[in-house]
Chain A
């Protein structure tokens, strides 16, 4: 069972991270295309149309695999997480379905128009199509992050002992959950940063190669300025997201920060440490005084709870959950007797904690004190992977702010001086892969940090998977790995080919490689 759950998690992680290679670029590129095309519609200058078309081409190569890998995500909850789907489909399915109806249709219908309707509609109408693609892709991010936000902080829901699942109480609580909203803005802004780094880096390549300078210069400036705004926003929204982690998921916070014992204000912040999960302490620790209070909970009076205290609290919840689970079993055996229902509903918030015991015993009535202690210890995810991926993400986040500040300063200050700053251009080019690392690190913090839960405090990961065989999982993992690798090879081949070619690939006869051949 444990292997099966681990394999299912591995498959989800691989397919989701692979999908997220393509998503952030889509989120940001669509708006960059809107900006470029808007300038074209206003000024009527052909070069901005060429920019829209060329960057649109690269966007399209990326988008194809984004669509493909998105299919997996829509169906994987059913194939591999059947109990999860049963247990929370009443709530979780809603944003996914609305995402399809409201966002995917819009995005996918008009993406075709973006590529193929240039000669069939007016300039303004085409711009409208581009805007609709951008709105569609960003709306789809909204709904998926509403769904994910609910997994992190499951509001507006109630347990029903007859159907054995969580049911929706308030859609608006789910939709306007501050956790979901902060996550949405943080994620789309990360996408805007990704696209800006992508365009800035490739434009730098043309500037270094001295090819298509007017084209590259304009692309560089647009992405620098857009990226500057986006990088500020991603930092602010990241900080907001962190504040909600402090409130809604203290167990994630202590793992990210390596806080083992409750700390009184003002709390310092650990800059570099080695968190030791077993001993509940940091082997070495370089700390910045006051910074913890500033960053983690935004005030200098409240303490920050440590892992020890959280584990002790959760132990009590597990004991209550054990009782509630036993009552639930009794009720399921004899559903006519409704005397227990009121009590089950009143204590349903502890049910999930009771389910944590199922990892150690099928019959929770038999759980020993050691099992309860172990289950309570489990409620804190392993610290060091979170500690370091969080700091990696923050490091990259700050690097984008610096990169775009410098790029904006030089490119807008003196019209062409930045073209000779080969250090800056090279840095921008080689920094292209980093936003993906930052996004992955961010998602890792969000998802691994939620362990041992799929739905925080409600459904343990261990309980969520389908009852498949390990053989089926090995088969599917192998299949995904092979197909995804092939797709990535083809995608990167085309991406590099077209990025190197630059606007010459449009076949208009005006650009570098075309004029050289003549």
Chain B
């Protein structure tokens, strides 16, 4: 297979992994975020938590696998993004740390204080990571200050790490964080209304609608905003050359991130999918058809992620301080051999993973009630 095609495929596959992450891990993060609000009593909160208890760990593997796949397929992006966003990545990791013990330890001791503490720990562990994912994406759109030296060693151009970190929290990045947070919260709310009944279901449905609307509005504002931001356009890029980012030249143009939509009008399908998906999910959710709503909210999230990716294509990690050091889908990849090998691995294992994931969801399906929680108090979370 040709190197150029493999590179396009891997751009798509990284997108698929991110979408998988947001759809799968996103809904259990949404549940963790909403559970203190939809559950007024201990049993109600346990209903919420147990709706994802058997699955959250498997879903988190989307995050780990995305990390591993980016390492293998885009090693330059793996190295640059994680080291240049050091403090932000640590914040993501440290908050994610809270999830496993919160899920597993919360109900192991029957003390209201112990339990409500873990509820809020779970809230932080579920709400902060999607917020930070969005902030990180926003900063990627804005460009990150770094460059390569002669030996391809990464050098940060942020004035100092603390200021560098605070600079990440610009208004545009916070808007992106808000969109990301709202769409996972809405997605989790829809999942909860699918798996619960009565008051919990009502509250979940209500919250899902509110967060979906916030996500739609935020996404629309973001779209206009991007038109006024600097975008990047690359010249002298070879899709088949060995990965050396320093060969190309890059122009920085205001509104440059919208230029792809002129060149390839069909790219507009991505933002359309984002809007239509989220709107349909609100409609279905309020008609009581949570299953359909879940599918459409997943589609809406896919549309939003694709919009970010397609606006930047072929860029994946622009450098604001030295645009030439920016990484693109053509010059950030592993060797042709490794890309092919990883493609084969993905083709073999992804369908298997999807198959057994759907199988276990099917086994564990059905409505959860407070009565069921009390019956199995010792074995459930």
Shortest CB-to-CB span from A351 to chain B, Å, is: 12
Interface presence of B342 (CB below 8 A): yes
Query: Of the 9-residue stretches A163-171, A201-209, A260-268, which lies at the interface with chain B?
Result: A163-171
A68 at the interface (CB under 8 A from B): yes
Known: A65-B100, A97-B342, A105-B65. A117 touches B334 (CB 8 A): no
Q: With A64-B103, A168-B341, A491-B101 in contact, do A71 and B242 touch (Cβ < 8 Å)?
A: no
Given the interface pairs A97-B72, A494-B105, the reply to whether A71 lies near B64 with Cβ below 8 Å is: yes
Q: Complex formed: what's the CA distance from A505 to B100 in Å?
A: 21
**B335 to chain A: which residues have CB within 8 Å?**
90, 160, 163, 167-168
Q: Are A162 and B242 in contact (CB under 8 A)?
A: yes
Give the Cβ gap from A211 to chain B, nearest Cβ, in Å.
19
A250 at the interface (CB under 8 A from B): no
B54 touches A112 (CB 8 A): yes
Considering the complex, give the chain A residue whose CB is closest to the CB of B375.
Answer: A119
Chain B residues with CB under 8 Å of A479's CB are: 90, 94
Asked whether A171 lies within 8 Å of B104 as measured between CB atoms, the reply is no
Residues of chain B with a CB closer than 8 A to A106's CB: 356
Per-residue interface assignment for chain A, residues 474 to 514, with 1 indicating a CB less than 8 Å from any chain B CB and 0 otherwise: 01100100010001001100100110000001110000000
**CB contact under 8 A between A120 and B89, given known A100-B69, A112-B57, A479-B94:** no
Q: How many residues of B contact A (CB 8 A)?
A: 76
B253 interface residue per 8 A CB criterion:
no
At the interface, yes or no: B220 with Cβ under 8 Å from chain A?
no
A-B contact count (CB 8 A): 259
Most buried by B among A61, A70, A85, A106: A85
Checking A75, A171, A469 against B341 with a beta-carbon cut-off of 8 angstroms, the contacting residue is A171
**Is residue B380 within 8 Å, beta carbon to beta carbon, of the partner chain?**
yes
Report yes or no: B82 in contact with A120, Cβ–Cβ below 8 A.
Answer: no
Are A99 and B68 in touch, CB under 8 angstroms? yes
How would you classify the secondary structure of chain B's contact residues: helix, strand, loop or mixed?
Answer: helix
Contact pick for B96, options A71, A89, A101, A109, CB 8 Å: A71
Interface flag for B150 (CB, 8 Å): yes
B154: Cβ under 8 A from any A Cβ: yes
Contact call B89/A466, Cβ cutoff below 8 A: no
Q: Which of A76-84, A220-228, A381-389 contacts B (4 or more CB under 8 A)?
A: A76-84
The answer, yes or no, to whether A102 is at the interface (CB within 8 Å) is yes
Across-interface contacts of A64 in B (CB, < 8 A):
100-101, 103-105
Within 8 Å of chain A (Cβ to Cβ): is B97? yes
Residues A85 and B55 in contact, CB atoms below 8 Å apart: no
Q: Are A82 and B83 in contact (CB under 8 A)?
A: yes
Q: Is the CB of B338 within 8 A of A92?
A: no
Q: Is A469 a contact partner of B160 (Cβ separation < 8 A)? A: yes
Q: A101 vs B351: C-alpha distance in the bound complex, in angstroms?
A: 10
Shortest distance from the beta carbon of B352 to any chain A beta carbon, whole Å: 8
Q: From the candidates A65, A109, A160, A332, name the one contacting B242 in the complex (CB within 8 A).
A: A160
> Are B364 and A116 in contact, with the CB atoms below 8 A?
yes
A67 and B72 contact, Cβ closer than 8 Å, known pairs A78-B79, A113-B54: no
The reply to whether the CB of A434 lies closer than 8 angstroms to some CB of chain B is: no
Task: Identify which of B97, B162, B334, B346 contacts A487 (C-beta below 8 A).
Answer: B97
List 13 interface pairs A-B (beta carbons < 8 Å), by A numbering.
A63-B104, A75-B82, A86-B76, A86-B153, A97-B345, A112-B360, A117-B364, A163-B242, A164-B152, A168-B338, A329-B150, A487-B101, A507-B377
